[in-house]
C-alpha cells in the first residue's frame, strides 16, 4: 500500500514547481536570463522535479550545483547579473529614451518579468534541496551551494520591496551602463565578424605611467571630450618602440570605464571591417576608442582605404561616440621607397605625384598626432624609480640607478618597456632572495 502522507508531500512539491515553471514560461522580455549554464540547468531541474523522477531530479540538481560552483556566484547574484546585462527591447530602448517615452506595454512587460524574477531570486537553495529530498525520498537533503562572493553584482535591487516598482531605476541603469556584451566588458576585440569581450584586460592605470606628460595630458583631454559628448579627434600616437603608447591607450579605458568608455582593439588584418564595427556601436550610449596598434601599410596595401573612410567619413555622418586611436613607430604610415617617387619619364600614371602625396599624407588625416621621443637617460631613470616605488622596492637610489643602467645596456636599450622588464625581474629577484634559507 502506498504511503499516503509521502504521496501528498510529493504532489505538493510538484505543484509548487509547476507554479514556478509557468511563471518562467510567461516571461516576455527576460528569457535570456536562462540561456547561460546556470539558468539552463535550473530549468532542467524544475522539469525533472515536475516529472517526479527521482534519478532525473538528482542528476539535474547535481548539474545545477556544478554550474553555480563554476560561476563562483550565488543564485541571487547570478540573476542580478543577468538582469544587469540583459539585451532585450526594454533594455535597448531604455538606453535611448526616458521611461515616460517608452511604449506602455513594454514598461508593463518589464514590471511583470521583474516580479517573476524576484520570486525566483527569493527561491532559496534550501527550498530546492528540500524538493529534491522529497522527490527522491532521501533521508537528508543534498548539499546546498553557498559562497562568499568577492565582487558585488553590477546591479542592486531591493530585498524588501517589489522589483516591479524599480523599473525606473533599472531603466536609468541601462541608460548609464548600457546592456548586453557592451555593458559586461570594457575591452573588446573583433573576432570572426563580431565583437568579443576581453575577460581579463591589461589592468594598467594612468597612475602607473610617468614621463611624456604633455602627450599624455593631450590624450586624456581628448578622451574626456569624447566621454562628455564634446567633439573629439582621432589620434595618432607616434614614436619609438617601448615608450608606452599602447599602455597609455589601454590605461584610459581602465580609468574611465565607469563613465561609459569602451575600447575595441582591431588587428590590421581586420581593418576592412572598420565600417561594420563603427556601424554596430554608433547607436550605443557608451563611448568607443577603436584601437589599432602598430599601424603601418605596405605600398600595395588597400586596407588603409577602410580606415580612411572611418577617419574622414563617407555619406554617413561620423558617429560622435567613436574615435580612432592608432599607434605607430613610423610618422608616415604608408611605406615609401625612392623608386616610388615619380620621374618625368614615368608614363604609368599621369597624376603619380598626387598618388604619392595621398600615401604620405595619410597620417595627416588624424586630427591629432602625439609624438613620443626615445627615452633619454633621465627619462628612463624617472620611469624606473616611479615603477620601483609602485612595486615597493626599497633599494638605495644609487644602487637602483646603477642596476637600471646596466640592465638597459645589456638588454633592449632605454625605454619604458625596458624599465618595466627590469622592475619585474628585480622584484622577482628580491622576493626569491628573501625566501632563500
Domain of residue 266, CATH code: 3.40.50.300
| Cβ-contact 401, 436 below 8 angstroms | no
Longest Cα pair distance anywhere in the chain, in angstroms? Answer: 109
Q: 140 and 279, same structural domain?
A: no
Q: 242 and 351, same structural domain?
A: yes
Closest CA to 418 of 380, 391, 371: 380
Closest CA to 120 of 19, 265, 230: 19
What cell numbers appear for 12 in the block? 505538493
Question: pLDDT tens digits for 316-359?
Answer: 667 899 999 999 886 555 554 444 445 555 545 444 444 444 44
Phi, psi (degrees; rounded to nearest 5) at 121 = -65, -35
What is the spatial distance between Cα 200 and Cα 22, in angstroms, rounded to a whole number? 38
| Cβ-contact 325, 235 below 8 angstroms | yes
Q: Identify the domain boundary among 139, 163, 183.
A: 183
What does the pLDDT read at residue 297?
Answer: 62
What is the spatial distance between Cα 305 and Cα 322, in angstroms, rounded to a whole number? 18
Q: Identify the domain boundary among 335, 355, 372.
A: 372
Q: What is the Cα gyration radius of the chain?
A: 29
The boundaries of the domain holding residue 24 are 4-183
**Exposed/middle/buried for residue 293 (C-beta within 10 Å: 0-12, 13-18, 19+):** middle
What is the spatial distance between Cα 202 and Cα 307, in angstroms, rounded to a whole number? 25
| Cβ-contact 46, 20 below 8 angstroms | yes
Q: 163 and 297, same structural domain?
A: no
What is the spatial distance between Cα 145 and Cα 126, in angstroms, rounded to a whole number? 9
pLDDT string in tens for the chain (437-residue length): 345 566 788 889 999 999 999 999 999 999 999 999 999 999 999 999 999 999 999 999 999 999 999 999 999 999 999 999 999 999 999 988 999 999 999 999 999 999 999 999 999 999 999 999 999 999 999 999 998 877 788 899 988 899 999 999 999 999 888 888 988 899 999 988 889 999 899 999 998 888 888 999 999 999 999 999 999 999 999 888 888 899 999 999 999 998 999 999 998 888 888 889 998 898 888 999 999 988 876 655 566 666 777 776 655 667 899 999 999 886 555 554 444 445 555 545 444 444 444 444 566 778 899 988 888 888 889 999 999 988 899 889 899 999 999 998 888 788 888 888 999 999 998 888 765 44
Q: 146 and 35, same structural domain?
A: yes
User: Pairing between strand 287-292 and 261-265?
Assistant: parallel
Closest CA to 111 of 169, 166, 177: 166
Q: 234 and 152, same structural domain?
A: no
Name the strand (E) or helix (H) holding 4: helix 4-25
Q: 239 and 345, same structural domain?
A: yes
What does the pLDDT read at residue 5?
Answer: 61
**Exposed/middle/buried for residue 95 (C-beta within 10 Å: 0-12, 13-18, 19+):** buried
| Cβ-contact 77, 156 below 8 angstroms | no
Closest CA to 120 of 172, 91, 83, 169: 83
What cell numbers appear for 200 in the block? 581579463
What does the pLDDT read at residue 304?
Answer: 63
* CB proximity list for 148: less than 8 A, separation 6 or greater: none
Q: 403 and 318, same structural domain?
A: no
Q: 132 and 18, same structural domain?
A: yes
Q: 344 and 270, same structural domain?
A: yes
Q: 329 and 200, same structural domain?
A: yes
What is the spatial distance between Cα 148 and Cα 334, in angstroms, rounded to a whole number? 54
Q: 142 and 57, same structural domain?
A: yes
Question: pLDDT tens digits for 174-225?
Answer: 988 888 898 889 999 998 888 999 989 999 999 888 888 899 999 999 999 9
Place of cell 624617472: 382
Q: 385 and 265, same structural domain?
A: no
The number of folded domains in the chain is 3
Query: What is the DSSP code (8-state) at residue 164?
Result: G
What does the pLDDT read at residue 403?
Answer: 92
What does the pLDDT read at residue 102?
Answer: 96
Closest CA to 370 of 426, 325, 434: 325
Collapsed DSSP state (helix, strand, coil) of residue 371: strand
Q: Identify the domain boundary among 328, 345, 372.
A: 372
| Cβ-contact 57, 49 below 8 angstroms | yes
Amino acid at each position: 500500500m502506498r504511503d499516503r502522507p509521502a504521496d501528498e508531500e510529493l504532489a505538493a512539491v510538484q505543484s509548487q514547481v509547476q507554479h514556478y515553471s509557468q511563471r518562467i514560461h510567461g516571461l516576455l522580455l527576460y528569457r535570456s536570463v536562462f540561456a547561460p549554464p546556470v539558468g539552463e540547468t535550473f530549468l532542467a531541474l524544475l522539469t525533472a522535479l515536475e516529472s517526479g523522477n527521482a534519478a532525473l531530479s538528482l542528476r539535474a540538481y547535481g548539474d545545477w550545483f556544478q554550474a553555480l560552483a563554476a560561476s563562483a556566484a550565488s543564485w541571487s547574484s547570478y540573476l542580478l547579473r543577468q538582469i544587469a546585462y540583459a539585451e532585450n527591447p526594454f533594455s535597448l530602448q531604455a538606453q535611448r529614451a526616458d521611461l515616460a517615452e517608452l511604449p506602455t506595454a513594454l514598461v508593463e512587460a518589464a514590471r511583470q518579468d521583474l516580479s517573476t524574477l524576484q520570486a525566483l531570486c527569493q527561491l532559496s537553495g534550501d527550498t530546492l534541496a528540500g524538493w529534491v529530498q522529497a522527490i527522491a525520498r532521501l533521508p537528508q537533503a543534498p548539499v546546498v551551494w553557498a559562497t562568499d562572493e568577492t565582487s558585488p553584482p553590477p546591479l542592486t535591487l531591493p530585498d524588501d520591496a517589489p522589483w516591479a516598482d524599480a523599473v525606473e531605476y533599472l531603466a536609468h541603469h541601462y541608460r548609464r551602463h548600457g546592456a548586453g556584451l557592451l555593458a559586461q566588458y570594457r575591452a573588446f576585440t573583433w573576432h570572426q565578424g563580431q565583437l568579443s569581450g576581453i575577460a581579463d584586460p591589461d589592468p594598467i592605470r594612468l597612475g602607473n605611467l610617468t614621463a611624456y606628460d604633455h602627450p599624455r595630458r593631450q590624450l586624456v583631454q581628448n578622451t574626456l571630450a569624447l566621454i562628455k559628448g564634446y567633439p573629439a579627434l582621432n589620434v595618432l600616437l607616434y614614436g619609438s618602440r617601448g615608450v608606452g603608447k599602447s599602455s597609455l591607450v589601454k590605461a584610459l579605458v581602465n580609468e574611465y570605464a565607469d563613465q561609459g568608455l569602451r575600447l575595441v582593439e582591431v588587428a590590421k588584418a581586420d581593418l576592412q571591417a572598420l565600417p561594420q564595427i563603427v556601424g554596430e556601436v554608433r547607436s550605443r550610449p557608451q563611448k568607443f576608442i577603436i584601437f589599432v596598434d602598430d599601424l603601418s601599410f605596405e605600398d600595395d596595401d588597400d586596407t588603409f582605404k577602410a580606415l580612411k573612410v572611418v577617419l574622414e567619413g563617407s555619406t554617413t555622418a561620423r558617429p560622435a561616440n567613436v574615435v580612432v586611436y592608432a599607434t605607430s613607430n613610423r610618422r608616415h604610415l604608408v611605406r615609401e621607397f625612392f623608386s616610388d617617387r615619380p620621374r618625368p619619364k614615368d608614363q604609368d600614371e599621369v597624376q603619380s605625384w598626387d598618388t604619392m602625396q595621398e600615401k604620405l599624407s595619410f597620417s595627416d588625416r588624424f586630427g591629432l598626432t602625439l609624438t613620443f621621443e626615445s627615452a633619454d637617460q633621465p627619462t628612463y631613470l624617472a620611469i624606473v624609480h616611479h615603477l620601483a616605488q609602485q612595486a615597493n622596492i626599497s633599494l638605495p637610489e644609487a644602487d637602483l640607478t646603477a642596476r637600471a643602467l646596466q640592465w638597459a645596456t645589456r638588454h633592449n636599450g632605454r625605454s619604458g618597456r625596458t624599465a618595466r622588464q627590469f622592475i619585474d625581474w628585480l622584484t622577482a629577484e628580491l622576493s626569491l632572495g628573501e625566501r632563500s634559507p
